[in-house]
Amino acid sequence: MSQSWLDRQAPIVALATAPGRGAVGIIRVSGRGLLPLIRALCGRELTPRVAHYGAFRDARGEAIDHGLALYFPGPHSYTGEDVLELQGHGGPVVMQLLLARCLEAAAEVDPALAPRLKGLRLAEPGEFTQRAFLNDKIDLAQAEAIADLIDASTEAAARSATRSLGGAFSREIEALREQMINLRMLVEATLDFPEEEIDFLEKADARGRLDRLAAALDGVLSQARQGALLREGLQVVLAGQPNAGKSSLLNALAGAELAIVTPIAGTTRDKVSETIQIEGVPLHVIDTAGLRADDEACDEVERIGMARSWEAIRAADAVLFLHDLTRWQDPAYAQADADIAARLPEGVKVLHVFNKVDAAGGLGPQVLQPEGPAGPVLSLSARTGDGLQALRRLLLEQAGWQAAPEGVFIARQRHVQALHRAREHLALAREHAAQRDGALDLLAEELRLAHNALGAITGAFSADDLLGEIFTRFCIGK
């Protein structure tokens, strides 16, 4: 959304409620000097922040709809500009009529009365919130939290988005930035008196302050990681040989018959996915076609299915590798499992899950050690549900989930990366500070870069293209 200055000044209008039928539909207008428009639409003046019931009128004065009109003069509004809300009946046609009427009425207003109104146009996605950000009503992390609240896929994600929106995350960042500013002032002041620098920095405990700042940053980073996990969840792929019980496990985790289960090997041909939640953390679980160690031995459809399975595995945050305990003692079966395991990409987390423990006659993964696979191992029964709870716990643990969702604020990968960058610059700053003849200007520069990295989170230092990317992902009317 790279807009000219003029574009940013133009009043905007949009349907603020979801398109389609609903009890109520809301049209929202934001801009400066909306009074003539209000008069044209409502036929009267509106007391600020008071709900007025009345007609919304067309050019001939005839009612298009009756509903509530609300006027919030800037700067005490969502966007910081004047905002008008028309709450009518939520039908798609009546809302379109009202939207068109707003544009028409704005075009008819005498430009001498309100020079900008003529430029009223439909809002782009996220433009109301972008204005709130540009007018300092909220910072960037809060603006993102609004979109995250709307998109939240679990209750815990919604609650933590509300916390971020309320400023919980921004306050943590601000506290870090404040410490950073104090430290920078100290270092930069010292730069002006180079002959006393070492002494000065030591007296002011610059190194101690750096250490404390790094520790505080680590704390926020680990909180932000939890927040990002709540927002983005994990891609978990179920993989293994045909008939191991992958689809059964998906169904058991989801608590619904989503994927077809049969005793026929090669039942699943394509990816089937479902988002489940464990303690509020969304897990995107993907069931895949069974893998055979020997690709040649299968038909065309199965080969394509397997190619898709490998694709999903490469993109996974964690792979649940299912082994069938009832066949594990067949050397050919165990060998095929080992061959598949050897082809798993490096770096992807693999949990070995031994299924069908109910039918394995007491065989469990413990008896398979030490020849069994490396990494976490678990036995369960997708049929009886035995061991499922332990799997859920293990998944959360593997994902790095530590917190109870209370107190977590929502965060994005972008924030985690910015905190990482800040952390790296702080580490370099510490190195410079640790050297007795360390270059003070390098220390100052690293602190400046760390400071900027933090500023990118709340939008104090943000490039226009980043803003565009963030706001265009909003829905229209927000």
Contacting residues toward ligand GTP, per CB under 6 A:
242-248, 261-263, 265-268, 289-290, 355-356, 358-359, 381-383
Nearer to Mg ion, 120 or 285 (CB): 285
Secondary structure (3-state) at 403: coil
In whole angstroms, the minimum distance from the beta carbon of 370 to ligand GTP comes to 25
Q: Which does 383 bind (CB under 5 to 8 A by kind): Mg ion, ligand GTP, none?
A: ligand GTP
In whole angstroms, the minimum distance from the beta carbon of 332 to Mg ion comes to 21
- Alpha carbons 370 and 355: distance in angstroms, whole number: 19
Nearer to ligand GTP, 131 or 356 (CB): 356
**Are 404 and 426 spatial neighbours (Cβ–Cβ below 8 Å)?**
no
- Alpha carbons 106 and 408: distance in angstroms, whole number: 45
In whole angstroms, the minimum distance from the beta carbon of 389 to Mg ion comes to 23
Nearer to ligand GTP, 226 or 268 (CB): 268
Nearer to ligand GTP, 267 or 277 (CB): 267
Nearer to ligand GTP, 280 or 290 (CB): 290
Q: Where are the beta strands (DSSP E) in 317-436?
A: 318-324, 349-355, 377-379
Angle between helix 413-434 and helix 206-232 axes, rounded to 10 deg: 160
What's the length of the chain?
478
Nearer to ligand GTP, 183 or 313 (CB): 313
In whole angstroms, the minimum distance from the beta carbon of 337 to ligand GTP comes to 13
- Alpha carbons 288 and 310: distance in angstroms, whole number: 9
Q: Which does 243 bind (CB under 5 to 8 A by kind): ligand GTP, Mg ion, none?
A: ligand GTP
In whole angstroms, the minimum distance from the beta carbon of 382 to ligand GTP comes to 4
Nearer to ligand GTP, 64 or 244 (CB): 244
Q: Which does 356 bind (CB under 5 to 8 A by kind): Mg ion, ligand GTP, none?
A: ligand GTP
Residues that bind Mg ion (CB under 5 A): 246-247, 267-268
Residue nearest to ligand GTP (CB): 290
In whole angstroms, the minimum distance from the beta carbon of 382 to Mg ion comes to 11
- Alpha carbons 363 and 277: distance in angstroms, whole number: 30
**Are 250 and 287 spatial neighbours (Cβ–Cβ below 8 Å)?**
yes
In whole angstroms, the minimum distance from the beta carbon of 261 to ligand GTP comes to 4
Neighbours of 62 (CB within 10 A): 8
How far is the CA of 163 from the CAs of 136, 144, 151, 159, in angstroms? 19, 12, 15, 6
Nearest residue to 30 (alpha-carbon basis) of 105, 69, 67, 85: 85
Q: Which does 256 bind (CB under 5 to 8 A by kind): ligand GTP, Mg ion, none?
A: none
The CA-to-CA distance between both ends of the chain, in Å, stands at: 14
